[in-house]
């Protein structure tokens, strides 16, 4: 079975190097992002923005990531995965430093957009690298590990940021995030080279496959399976937004809401290896479909809660559904991607997921405006179950085809 160059000769040392270099950068980067993302609205308000403007500027980061999804394949192909990851980290560090020093709202807003762009390159390059570097029999566990360390980073980051802000100020957190990005770039230097057969299969960079040709050739898979992934990412984002909104609607304090969210995140980040193991041993469908059904059930249960105990129970169910599905989107994309033109395919795949993430909060807003928050919670829970059926059908048809 194909694996990392050097691993066959020195299995323990080779894999230790791989684990440190492959998971170290996303962990450090996620800690930095986790530290600053919750602070962006506060920073914009401090610089004179209105609440509406603060919400708009906060949305620039995910919008930038969407904008960068397709161009990211060109960067990853031209530079190679290792250099692309390093370049993204350095770009991140530059714009986080500018955010750290910004004293004017326009400068800060440009910085927020620009460090959002690096997320698309970083995410695509690391997914492509891990896909190429690991045997297929270990693929789900390897990619679930990526999702897991990102969750851990997003959990640790805000805790560190709270201490930094208490000791210094809001701006200092962006300086900390820039240091984390520089650290991620440094660790990336130790990434092992990809197997020789990968470079041979890819051929000359000048003859790299064209983005639109690859997307056109795989439009059936992207439309069928990618739509299911869009639904999954939409529900995942809904979970992150709706729990604190529901707590607020019940009149819970900010500290109680934070506790509920922290418990849910703790359950979430503890299950990533378990989900990867199931996918590798039993198949992707045994995680993808149950994950969406549990998320849907958790949303429906949340709508029935009126006190702290049941709310925590529903939040735990949501954490369970999301945590066991860690890495499933990346795994399904890597499975469906062609060997020739993998980066180009995955850029389109990641765009579908990012569109879903962007639509999640919009769906909550629209349904709540038309009906109520409870209606939004129940209807999106039902949508999750429908999405699970669609995704399961897409996985089955794609598996038969391949």
**pLDDT tops 90 at residue 401:** no
Q: pLDDT > 90: what percent of the chain? A: 63
**pLDDT tops 90 at residue 331:** yes
Local confidence band at 11 (pLDDT 50, 70, 90 cut-offs): very low
Local confidence band at 200 (pLDDT 50, 70, 90 cut-offs): low
Within the chain, all domains assigned CATH 1.20.1250.20 are found at 1-203, 209-402
**pLDDT tops 90 at residue 255:** no
Are the CB atoms for 86 and 181 separated by under 8 Å? no
- The structural architecture, per CATH, of the domain 209-402 is Up-down Bundle (1.20)
Average pLDDT over every residue of 275-295: 95
Predicted pLDDT at 397:
72
**pLDDT tops 70 at residue 206:** no
pLDDT tens-digit profile of 135-151?
Answer: 899 999 999 999 999 99
324 or 5, which is more confident?
Answer: 324
C-beta pairs of 70-73 under 8 Å, 24+ apart in sequence: 70/211, 70/347, 70/348, 70/351, 71/120, 71/347, 72/120, 72/121, 72/123, 72/124, 72/125, 72/347, 72/350, 73/124, 73/211, 73/343, 73/344, 73/346, 73/347
Predicted pLDDT at 8:
43
**pLDDT tops 60 at residue 4:** no
Predicted pLDDT at 209:
80
Predicted pLDDT at 10:
40
Predicted pLDDT at 240:
86
Predicted pLDDT at 54:
87
* Assigned CATH for 1-203: 1.20.1250.20
**pLDDT tops 50 at residue 79:** yes
């Amino acid at each position: 079975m194909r694996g990392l160059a050097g691993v066959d000769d020195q299995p323990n040392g080779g894999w230790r190097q791989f684990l440190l270099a492959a998971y170290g950068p996303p962990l450090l980067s996620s800690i930095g992002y986790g530290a600053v993302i919750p602070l962006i609205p506060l920073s914009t308000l401090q610089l004179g923005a209105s609440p509406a403007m603060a919400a708009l500027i906060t949305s620039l980061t995910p919008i930038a990531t969407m904008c960068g999804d397709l161009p990211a394949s060109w960067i990853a192909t031209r530079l190679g995965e290792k250099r692309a990851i390093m370049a993204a980290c350095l770009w991140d560090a530059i714009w986080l430093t500018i955010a750290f020093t910004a004293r004017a709202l326009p400068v800060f807003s440009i910085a927020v957009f620009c460090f959002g762009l690096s997320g698309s390159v970083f995410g695509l390059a690391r997914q492509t690298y891990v896909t190429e570097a690991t045997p297929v029999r270990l693929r789900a566990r390897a990619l679930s590990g990526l999702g897991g360390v990102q969750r851990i980073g997003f959990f640790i980051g805000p805790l560190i940021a709270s201490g930094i802000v208490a000791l210094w100020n809001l701006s200092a957190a962006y300086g900390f995030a820039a240091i984390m990005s520089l650290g991620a770039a440094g660790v990336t230097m130790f990434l092992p080279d990809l197997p020789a057969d990968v470079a041979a299969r890819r051929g000359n960079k000048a003859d790299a496959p064209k983005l639109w040709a690859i997307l056109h050739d795989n439009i059936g898979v992207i439309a069928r399976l990618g739509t299911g992934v869009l639904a999954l990412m939409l529900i995942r984002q809904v979970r992150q937004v709706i729990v604190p909104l529901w707590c607020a609607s019940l009149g819970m304090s900010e500290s109680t809401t934070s506790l509920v969210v922290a418990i849910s995140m703790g359950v979430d980040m503890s299950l990533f290896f378990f989900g990867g193991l199931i996918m590798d041993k039993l198949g992707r469908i045994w995680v993808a479909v149950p994950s969406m059904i549990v998320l849907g059930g958790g949303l429906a249960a949340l709508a029935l809660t009126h006190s702290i105990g049941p709310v925590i129970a529903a939040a735990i169910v949501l954490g369970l559904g999301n945590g066991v599905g860690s890495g499933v989107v990346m795994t399904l994309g890597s499975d469906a991607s062609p060997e020739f033109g993998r980066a180009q395919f995955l850029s389109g795949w990641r765009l579908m997921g990012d569109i879903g993430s962007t639509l999640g909060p919009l769906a909550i807003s629209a349904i709540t405006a038309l009906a109520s928050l409870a209606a939004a919670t129940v209807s999106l829970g039902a949508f999750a179950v429908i999405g699970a059926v669609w995704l399961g059908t897409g996985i089955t048809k794609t598996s038969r085809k391949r």
